[in-house]
A = this chain, B = another copy of it.
Amino acid sequence: MSICPDGPVKIGPYAFHSRLFVGTGKYMSDAIMQEAITASGTELVTVALRRVDLSQPKKPSLLEALPSSVKILPNTAGCHTVQDALLVADIARAAGIGDLIKLEMIGDNEWLWPDPILTLEATKRLVQKGFAVMVYTSPDPVLAKHLEDEGAAAVMPLGSPIGSGQGIVNTEVIGRIKERVTRVPIVVDAGIGAAADAAMAMELGADAVLINTAIALAQDPVAMAQAMKWAVMAGRQGFLAGRMTKQWRASASSPAQGQVRAHVPS
């Protein structure tokens, strides 16, 4: 029984069999981070380039700490200008990390809400430079469509603010984005706080989820990583299985033709 019986999710030239992507921030130790990453079954791990000193002669410790089986997704966390984001991406590519980049253009330091204008501009520029750009964005169907049109490799709407664990606050908008963005994957990025949130994101039609804080700050991060692995499998499978329609009148699970009693629910 494979994790993804429906085949891998494809982002740019890459294919991932696990639909759970994870972050590397906030862990108490690199050892716990490593173990959690392994337990999650992920194949794509995001790293803030700011945390990695690429100028060192030897390989940076954080990158060394990651299992060789996972692909590194450098992100532009902390960049507030398009130029900064381009610089970080260039550095990552020059350091051999590759051309897959996660774009974060924060416009609000308190809520870590993305700036829609800078995000679109930076996406254009990074695509022109040949990057496969996974774009963190506000949950805006029209902006999501613009990002796809400009060549984003994946559109990553937030479920709720980064690190908040509030879950998918506006469930309907994820479906709307999925209706608009038809050529590249949707990844719910930010806000997932519990396994149910991850399952819900997938059942709403997301192609993958990215989780950091909910794993790193769980009481047992390794156990939570496994919970999230199962939650993403459950949500994806539930999406593919086709959920029942919600009913606003109850109906008997057990059909009414009974032997023992005659006066059954109508």
Which residues from chain B contact A208 at a C-beta distance below 8 Å? none
Interface residues of A in 232-266 (CB under 8 A from B): 233-235, 237-238, 240-261, 263-266
- Shortest A127–chain B CB gap in Å is 16
Give CA–CA (A88, B221) in the complex, Å.
Answer: 47
Cβ contacts under 8 Å, A255 to chain B: 25-26, 48, 51
Contact between A237 and B244, CB atoms less than 8 A apart = no
How many protomers of this protein does the assembly include?
A: 4
Q: Give the one of A51, A146, A162, A243 with max B CB within 10 A.
A: A243
For A180, the chain B residues whose CB sits under 8 A away are: 108
Partner of A111, one of B24, B54, B141: B141
Chain B residues closer than 8 Å to A52, beta-carbon distance: 259
Residue A63 is within 8 A (CB to CB) of chain B in the complex: no
When the two chains form their complex, are residues B230 and A264 in contact, meaning their CB atoms are under 8 A apart? no
- List the B side residues contacting A166 at CB < 8 Å: 172, 246-248
Q: Looking at the assembled complex, report how far the CB atom of A48 sits from the nearest CB atom of chain B, in whole angstroms.
A: 3
A82 within 8 A of B: no
A138–B157 Cα gap in the complex (Å)? 14
Contact residues in B for A78 (Cβ distance below 8 Å): 252, 254, 256, 258, 260-261, 263-265
- A72-131 interface (Cβ within 8 A of B): 75, 77-80, 84, 87-88, 91, 106-117, 120
| Contacting pair A142 B224 (CB below 8 A) | no
- Contact present for A26 and B195 (CB under 8 Å): no
Contact indicator B258/A241 (Cβ below 8 Å): no
Docked CA distance A228–B153 (Å): 31
How distant is A241 from chain B, measured CB to nearest CB, in Å? 4
13 residue pairs of the A-B complex, CB under 8 angstroms, read: A25-B254, A49-B258, A80-B263, A109-B266, A112-B250, A113-B142, A166-B246, A172-B248, A193-B246, A196-B197, A213-B251, A217-B245, A220-B240
Which residues does A use to contact B, with CB under 8 Å?
1, 23-26, 48-55, 75, 77-80, 84, 87-88, 91, 106-117, 120, 138, 140-143, 145-146, 161-166, 169-170, 172-173, 176, 179-180, 193-200, 203, 212-214, 216-221, 223-224, 226-231, 233-235, 237-238, 240-261, 263-266
